[in-house]
Amino acid sequence: IVTTVQIRPAAPADVPDLVRIKSAVWPDQAVNIAQLEAVLQLPEHIVLVASTEGEALGYLDCFLTTSVDGVRRWEMDEIAVLPAAQGRGIGRRLVANGLQSIYGGGATYSRALIQVENIPSQRIFAHAGYRIEPATQMLLVAGPQDVDNTNLPQGLHLVPVSTLSYCGAWLEGEVTLAGLEAARQWINGNDCQLVGVLICSDDQSLLSDALLAGYEVVDSYNWWSTK
C-alpha cells in the first residue's frame, strides 16, 4: 500500500485531473466535461480523489439511490486509477474511504456492478468485504425515443441517476416490453441521455424483447454488495 496517497473529496478545480484519468483508463470514451462539473455539485453524491505529491492518480464516484421498496443504496459507480499507478493499493484505499459514507448518507448497504472479466475490480471489492451475487446480468442501454407507450407499468421502477459519464435512469423491477418502451419515453421527456436495464443472461425471451425495444447490449456483469 502506498502510505503517501491522500484521499479527499473532489472539488471543481479537480475537473481537469478527472478528465485526464478518465481518458487514460477509457481512451475510447468521450468525456463530457459539463457532466463532470454538474455531478460535483450534486447532494448525496461523492467523488473521491486519490493523489500523492500533488498529482491525482485516481478517483471513485459514488452516490445514493432508492429501490422500489424504499431501500437506500450506496452505489460505487465508477472507479479509475491511472494505468501507471495501478497495483499499488490505490483502488482499495478509494473503496475503503467510499464505504465510510454509507451510514451517514442513510444507506443500508453498498453495491457495485462489475464486469465479469474485470478481475482487478473484483479483487478490490472482495477485499473491502463485498460479496458477488452469482447471477450474471446483461447490461443493455437505449437512448430517448418518442413512442406511444408513455405509462410505466405497475411493478417497474425508474431510478434517475447522474453519473460522471451520463444523465439517465436505471430501470428496475418487473421488466416487460411495455416497460422498456415506456422508459425510453420517460428519458425523452426528462432530457436524459440514456436508460439502462439489467437482464439475467438466462432470460432469452426478455433479452429479445429488449433488443426489439431498441436496447443494445453493453456487456456481462455481476452485482457485488455488502448485504
Beta-bridged to residue 111, according to DSSP, are 75, 225
Please determine, for residue 150, whether its predicted confidence score (pLDDT) is greater than 80.
Answer: no
The sign of the torsion formed by the CA atoms of 34, 171, 120, 40 equals positive
What's the whole-number mean pLDDT along residues 73-95?
94
- Whether this prediction's pTM lies above 0.85 is answered by yes
Give the per-residue pLDDT at 2: 45
Look at residue 188 in the predicted model and tell me its pLDDT.
Answer: 87
Q: Determine the pLDDT at residue 103.
A: 66
3-state secondary structure labels for all residues of 136-166: CEEEEEECCCCCCCCCCCCCEEEEEEECCCC
Mean confidence (pLDDT) of the chain: 92
Q: How confident is the model at residue 4 (pLDDT cuts 50, 70, 90)?
A: confident
For 211-226, the pLDDT digits (tens) are: 999 999 999 999 999 9
- In the prediction, which pLDDT does 207 show? 97
In the chain, % helix, strand, coil (3-state, to 5) comes to: 30, 35, 35
Position 147 scores a pLDDT of: 67
